[in-house]
Amino acid sequence: MKKTITIGAAVLLVGAIAALLVPLWTMTSGMEIGRHGWTAIILMLVFCFGLGGGLMFLIFYSARRGHDDAVHFGGTEDHRQ
Residue 52 has pLDDT above 70, yes or no: yes
CB atoms within 10 A of CB 70: 13
CB 77 within 8 A of CB 70: yes
Burial class (CB in 10 A: 0-12, 13-18, 19+), 69: middle
CB 78 within 8 A of CB 70: yes
pLDDT digits (tens, 9 = 90+) for 13-50: 999 999 999 998 888 888 888 999 999 999 999 999 99
What's the CA gap between 32 and 65, in Å, rounded? 49
